[in-house]
Amino acid sequence: MNRNFPILLAEDHVVTRKLLEKKLVQAGHEVTSVENGRDALRLFENRFFPIILTDWIMPEMDGLELCRAIRKMHSKGYVYIVLLTAKDGKDDIILGLESGADDYLTKPIDHLELIARLNTAKRILSLEKSLKDANEENILLSVTDSLTGCYNRGYLNETLPNEIERARRYDHDLSIVFCDIDHFKKVNDTHGHQVGDLVLKEFVQRIRELVRDKVDWIARYGGEEFMVVLPETDVTGACSMAKRLRSSLADRKILIHDKMLSVTSSFGVTGINLDTSVSMKKFDTIIGQVDKFLYQAKEKGRDCIVSGVL
C-alpha cells in the first residue's frame, strides 16, 4: 500500500484540474495532467500510466471515448480508470462502467473520498502485479534447468525451431555449439554427484562469460551435454567461441571445495548455410548434424572441436 502509482489526469476545467493535481501531489502521487481525452491518449501511447482519472465531458475526446480506446490497447499492465463527472444517474453510472471505467466519482470531488478510491485502485493494481510476477516466475521455472539455471530441453525444443525459421526468413546467420564434458562419469564416480553438479554449474557459468547477454542462449540437452544457440553468428564466429570455451575449461582448473579438478570438453559446431534448400534447415536436421560433429570430436580423442555447415 505504500507504493504510489503514476496518475494521468484528463480534465478540461482549468481550476478543477489544478486543484486535483495539487491534492494528488500532496498525497504523494506523480501526476501528469492534460485538458482533453485526445491528449491523454497520445500521452498514454508513449508512456504507461496504471491509473487514469478522466472527466466525462471534454472537447476532442470525452471520457467514455478515452475509456474505450484504452481498453482496446494492449498495455503492459492493468489500467485502473476512474471517471469524474457531475452525471450521477443510475443509467449514467452503468454507461460509464460499461465503457471501461473501474470506478466513478461525482463532482464536486470530495478529496478524502478520492484518496480512498485511489487506495482501492492501488490494492487492486498491487494484487495484479503480484499475480503477474508469480505467473512470469512460474513460466521461467518451467523452462529452466533447476541445477544450472540455463534453459532446459523443453525450451530448446520449442524455441530453436523459431530461431531457425527467423534466420531463414530474414536471411540471417545462425549457429549451434553442442558441448559435452569429457569423462564426466569419472568425475561423478571419483568425487561424487555433488561435485559433479558443481562442475556442471561452473561449466555453464563459463559459457555465460563468453556469450552475448540477451542474444545468445544456453540449454541443457541432457546429462553433461549443453547446446549454445548463437543468432546472427556464422560458423567461423561459433568456432571462435567454442575455442575460447575449450581453452577456458582445459587451462583453468575448477576449484571445488578443496579440490582442483582438471576437466575438458568436446564440441560440435554447425550453422545454417542459407544457400541450401529450406527443407534442410529443419530442427531435426540441425540437431542430427551437430550431434554427428560432437561424436566425431569424441572419436578424435576429445578436448577438440569439429565443425561444418549444413
Asked, for residue 145, whether it belongs to a domain, the answer is no
Closest CA to 182 of 263, 99, 121: 263
Looking up residue 122, the CATH number of its domain turns out to be: 3.40.50.2300
Same domain as 95, residue 208: no
pLDDT digits (tens, 9 = 90+) for 112-131: 999 999 999 999 999 998 88
Is 84:105 a contact under the CB 8 Å cutoff? yes
Same domain as 305, residue 174: yes
Q: Quick one: pLDDT at residue 281? A: 58
Asked, for residue 126, whether it belongs to a domain, the answer is yes
Asked, for residue 1, whether it belongs to a domain, the answer is no
Rounded CA gap, 296 and 309, in Å? 15
Same domain as 280, residue 173: yes
pLDDT of 233 > 80? The answer is yes
Return the minimum-mean-pLDDT range out of 159-163, 172-176, 230-234, 279-283. Answer: 279-283
Asked, for residue 65, whether it belongs to a domain, the answer is yes
Same domain as 223, residue 106: no
Is 163 a catalytic site residue? no
Query: Which cell numbers in the block locate residue 243?
Result: 575455442
Q: Count how many domains the chain has.
A: 2
Same domain as 136, residue 184: no
Measuring CA to CA, how many Å separate 67 from each of 20, 102, 109?
20, 10, 20
Kind of pairing between the strands at 225-231 and 174-181? antiparallel
Same domain as 126, residue 65: yes
Kind of pairing between the strands at 80-85 and 259-261? unpaired
Asked, for residue 146, whether it belongs to a domain, the answer is no
Q: Quick one: pLDDT at residue 168? A: 85
Query: Which cell numbers in the block locate residue 125?
Result: 493494481
pLDDT of 274 > 60? The answer is no
2 — pLDDT class (breaks 50, 70, 90):
very low
278 — pLDDT class (breaks 50, 70, 90):
very low
The active-site residue out of 224, 225, 232, 299 is 224
Amino acid letter, residue 132: K
Rounded CA gap, 268 and 300, in Å? 12
pLDDT of 107 > 50? The answer is yes
Looking up residue 184, the CATH number of its domain turns out to be: 3.30.70.270
Closest CA to 210 of 265, 164, 128: 265
Q: What are phi and psi of 299, to 5 degrees?
A: -65, -30
Same domain as 54, residue 167: no
Asked, for residue 147, whether it belongs to a domain, the answer is no
Asked, for residue 148, whether it belongs to a domain, the answer is no
Same domain as 42, residue 172: no
pLDDT digits (tens, 9 = 90+) for 141-156: 899 999 999 999 999 9
Same domain as 214, residue 303: yes
255 — pLDDT class (breaks 50, 70, 90):
confident
Amino acid letter, residue 150: C
Same domain as 134, residue 158: no
Closest CA to 51 of 126, 135, 136, 134: 126
**Which segments of the chain does DSSP mark as H helices, in order?**
14-26, 37-46, 63-72, 90-98, 111-142, 153-170, 184-191, 193-210, 235-251, 283-299
Same domain as 234, residue 161: yes
Rounded CA gap, 71 and 265, in Å? 54
pLDDT > 70: percent of the chain: 96
Same domain as 291, residue 161: yes
Measuring CA to CA, how many Å separate 137 from each of 38, 115, 210, 215?
37, 32, 26, 21
**Residue 23 domain boundaries:** 7-140
Indicate the helix (H) or strand (E) that contains 270: strand 265-271
